[in-house]
Structure 1
Amino acid sequence: MNWDDTPAEAAFRTEVRQFIKDSFPAAYSPDVHAEQGLEPEDVRGYDWPADRDCADRARAAGAREWAAALAARGWIASRWPVEYGGAALPVAAEFVLNEELVRAKVPTVNSLGVSLLGPTLLRHGTAAQKATHLPPIARGERTWAQGFSEPDAGSDLAGLRTRAVRDGTYYVVNGRKVWTSLGQHADWLFILVRTGTDPAEPRHRGLTYLLVDARSEGVTVRPIKDMRGAEPFSEILFEDVRVPVADRVGEENRGWYVAMDTLSFERAAISTAVKLEQALTGLVDYVNSESGAGRLHEGWGSGIRAEVARRYTEVRVLYNVARYTVSRQAAGSVPGYEASVNQLFGAELHQRLAKTGARVFGQHSLMWRGDKASGAPLDGEFTHRQFDAVAATFLGGTSEIQRGIIATRGLGLPRA
């Protein structure tokens, strides 16, 4: 397949680059020593959902100014219809836009609301839900978090226990979600709950997809600290939370199928490929620099050179898998097993690249970022990458889940 830009795509790529150069707020500078979330779209030094409401007024103003600049062009939710605040861009143009944002190392805006909830509502939502929720996302005014994982279920989504009981025009929700990315910064939540009552039915039946105002009475959000000392996700408790039936997406007890579409959109990102390519390029450039060669020459033999070459080949494979996934979207398909290939390969490559960096830097790979006295290579980037990579193979669905999807949906193998 030929992934070269068409003339129209090349012209749009040039337009995007110029827009970033002209419009990104100069005062919105990266805080490279601050930890951020773990989503593929995260750019080192930025955490847009946290930045927009942080105590640093200049940083908060920069985050909001950047959102306004993107929103003015419909580029926060670039593929959405214009009536909902998007730009109605074709899939290939959205790909170019997202790729250039990541390559420029500037943050995307409203990533979960745009990439997950938005496409789900466009496919399954009512007219009222679209009119109510999509425009604020496209303006950068309302952020969302995904409440799927639970303490006793994790990636086994069908095993969730949070229950919703119908009470007239409301559902009363009780339960607990965990590992909710950016939950403490979210205005709204999209969650999956159990509404079915028949114990004999399959576990994936009887689930319902709800939209929940995070400020609702009975919602408690508790940030969770990870091994880096950061708080990229939260535990969320629901105690008799009343959710209007009008905020149900799709049919009652049929939420599993809505959620599967949401997860398919989650796994179709280009950001991981670009970020890993940038990290690998930075690694090679550092080792080939005068200071890097002088400190690390013992670990830069033929074996590690071959390993780095393999990582580069794998990064290019991941990029092409992402392009193929996008081509499927352009043809009108919801990403299926192809997106799981993308997620699985990208997550495991993230871990392999982190290990390669540890081999290159040897004992220097123990140095923590921001410790200027230690002179950590690349400011300890690969030390932190090792910590980040731990979660990679279960963050967007475990490797076992991805392999199961690839086997049954992609290869047509029977279920175990």
Structure 2
Amino acid sequence: MNWDDTPEQAAFREEVRAFVRDRFPPSYGPDTEAEQSLEPEDVLGYTWPADRSGPDPVRREGARAWAAALAERGWIAPHWPVEYGGAGLSPMEEFILLEELMRARVPTVNGIGAFLLGPTLLVHGTREQKAEHLPPIARGERTWAQGFSEPGAGSDLAALRTRAVRDGDGYVIDGQKVWTSLGQYADWLFVLVRTDPDAEPRHRGITFLLVDAATPGVTVQPIVDLRGDTPFCEVFFEGVRVPESCRVGEENRGWYVAMTALGFERAGIGATIKYEQALNDLVAYVRSPEGRARTRTDRGASFRREIARRHTEIRVLANLARYTVSRQAAGAEPGFEASVNQLFGAELHQRLARTGAKAFGRSGALWERAGAPLNGTFTHMRRDAVAATFLGGAAEIQRNVIATRGLRLPRS
């Protein structure tokens, strides 16, 4: 299969590169002390939802100026229809745009709202829901977080216990969500709730609701991870009233809406570019005079073979992402192929982190960035990688999806 750009795609790629050169705010530089966000489309030194509302006025204004520049072109949500603030780009043009933003190491904007909720509303939302929620996302004015996982019901999403009880023309929600990525910065949440506790099988009693984070009864508490950072939070719902107009899809059929959202979550190119850049940085460093002095001297042929394997695996991941987007270009929604992408990428993340640790030997244990090889990038990557095989769906769940939906194997 030929993945080379067509002349039109090559011209669009150059257009994106020129746009970044001309419009990215020079004052909005990366925070070299910040931890890497765990979201696939975020780049080192930037967490756009936090930057746009943070205490630093320079970063805050830079984040908002960058969002405004992207919004002018419809490039916050490039694949959406123009009527909702998108640019109407083809799936491949969107792929090229995201690829070039990642290669330029500048942040994307409104990731969860633009890449998960928005496409889901375009498939399942009412005309009124699209008109209310999509334009603010496309302008960078409203951020979203995903409220799916719960204590005791993370990978087994059908076991969720957060309840929503009918009350007049709406619902009253009680329960708890956990590991909600960047939820402390979100204006709105999209959540799964149980509306039929007696449904069998369990996933048939789940409903998909949109919740304003400012609604009385919503409490958000950041969670500190093993790096000392707070990339996610837990959210408590106590008597939270939500109107019926905030339900997406039918009552008790929210599982199928959620599967659409998760398909879009697992289909991105962002991780591929980050791994490619990390490996290239590692190779350049070990070849440099400083690198030759500070990395292990017994690497030899075995280490070179390991670097070659990582390079090959990154190209495989890139082709998986391109295959997924080619299906979208043909009119198909992301399917089990997106789970292959997610699983392979998560395990590659861990292998790449271990490769870096081997290169640096004892220096790979240096946590403080100042004075550490490559600014401690691979030390921090190794900590990040601990969660890779259960973020966005545990490896076991991904294998089940691949087996049952892809290979058509029996469930038992």
Q: Which category of TM-score, normalised to the shorter sequence, fits these structures? A: over 0.9
Q: How does 1:246-395 map to 2 (within 5 A)?
A: 246-370=245-369, 372=370, 375-395=371-391
Matches within 5 A, 1:70-149: 70-149=70-149
Q: Which moved more, 1:132-141 or 1:35-44?
A: 35-44
Aligned equivalent of 1:50: 50
Is contact 2:37–2:44 with CA below 8 Å preserved after alignment? no
Q: Deviations over 1:201-250 (max 9, x none)?
A: 11111100000000000000000000010000000000000000100000
- Report the Cα distance in structure 2 between the residues aligned to 1:369 and 1:83, rounded to whole angstroms: 48
Structure 1 residues 260-319: Cα deviation after superposition (integer angstroms, max 9, x where no partner): 000000000001111000000000000001110122241421111111110000000000
Describe the SS at the equivalent of 2:402: helix
Residue of structure 1 in register with 2:394 after alignment: 398
Alpha-carbon separation, structure 1, partners of 2:324 and 2:403 = 17
CA-based RMSD of the aligned residues comes to 0.8
For residues 36 and 174 of structure 2, what CA distance do their matches in structure 1 show? 30
**Per-residue deviation, residues 6-42 of structure 1 (Å, max 9, x unmatched):** 1110000000000000000001011011124201011
* Alignment match, 1:39: 39
Distance 2:298 2:38 in 1: 29
Amino acid at match of 1:414: P
The gaps in structure 1 that reach 5 residues or longer are none
Q: Which amino acid is the alignment partner of residue 44 of structure 2?
A: R
d(CA) in 1 for partners of 2:19, 2:25? 11
User: How far apart, in 2, do the equivalents of 1:261 and 1:347 lie?
Assistant: 20
Match of 1:21 in 2: 21
Asked whether the 8 Å contact 1:30–1:46 carries over to 2, the reply is yes
Distance 1:118 1:363 in 2: 45
**Which residue identity does 2:322 align to in structure 1?**
R
The AA in structure 2 aligned to 1:25 is: P
The amino acid across from 1:305 in the alignment is: R
User: What one-letter code is carried by the residue in structure 2 that aligns with 1:388?
Assistant: D
d(CA) in 2 for partners of 1:198, 1:337 = 29
Question: 1:69 aligns to what?
Answer: 69
Q: Secondary structure at the match of 1:117?
A: helix
| Kept in 1: contact 2:296–2:359 (CA 8 A) | no
Separation in 1 of the partners of 2:367 and 2:198?
A: 52
- In 1: Cα distance, 2:243 partner to 2:253 partner: 17
- Residues 146-165 of structure 1 mapped to structure 2, 5 A cutoff: 146-165=146-165
Amino acid at match of 1:204: H
Q: CA 1:188–1:171 in 2, change beyond 3 Å: closer, same or farther?
A: same
Write out per-residue CA displacement over residues 168-220 of structure 1, whole angstroms, 9 at most, x where no aligned residue. Answer: 11100000000000000000000000001325x11111100000000000000
Question: For the Cα contact (< 8 Å) 1:369–1:381, is it kept in 2?
Answer: no
SS state at 1:204 partner: helix
8 Å CA contact 2:296–2:360 kept in 1: the answer is no
1:92-131 deviations in whole A, cap 9, x for unaligned? 0000000000000000000000010000000000000000
For residue 82 of structure 1, report the CA deviation from its aligned partner: 0.4
What is the identity percentage for the equivalent residue pairs of Structure 1 and Structure 2? 69
Corresponding residue of 1:215: 214
Which residue identity does 2:336 align to in structure 1? Y
Q: Does 1:3 align with 2:18?
A: no
Given residue 179 of structure 1, which amino acid in structure 2 is its aligned partner? W
Cα distance in 2 for partners of 1:65, 1:268 equals 28
Please say if residues 286 and 292 of structure 2, whose CA atoms lie closer than 8 Å, have aligned partners that are also in contact: yes
Kindly state the Cα deviation for residue 369 of structure 1 after the two structures are TM-superposed.
3.9
Q: Bigger CA drift: 361-370 or 266-275?
A: 361-370
Contact 1:273 1:315 in 2 (8 A): yes
Does the alignment pair 1:228 with 2:227? yes
In structure 1, distance between residues paired with 2:90 and 2:213: 32
Kept in 2, the 8 Å contact 1:145–1:186? The answer is yes
Distance in 1 (alpha carbons) for counterparts of 2:52 and 2:296: 43
Distance 1:132 1:402 in 2: 33
- The amino acid across from 1:303 in the alignment is S
Q: Following the alignment from structure 1 to structure 2, what is the Cα–Cα distance between the partners of residues 139 and 299?
A: 53
Q: Does 290-299 or 117-126 show the bigger shift?
A: 290-299
Distance in 2 (alpha carbons) for counterparts of 1:187 and 1:296: 45
**Residues 227/299 of structure 1: CA separation in 2 closer, same or farther (3 Å cut):** farther
Query: Counterpart of 1:46 in 2: which secondary structure?
Result: coil
Question: What residue number does 1:198 align with?
Answer: 198
> In 2, are the aligned partners of 1:16 and 1:100 still within 8 Å (CA)?
yes
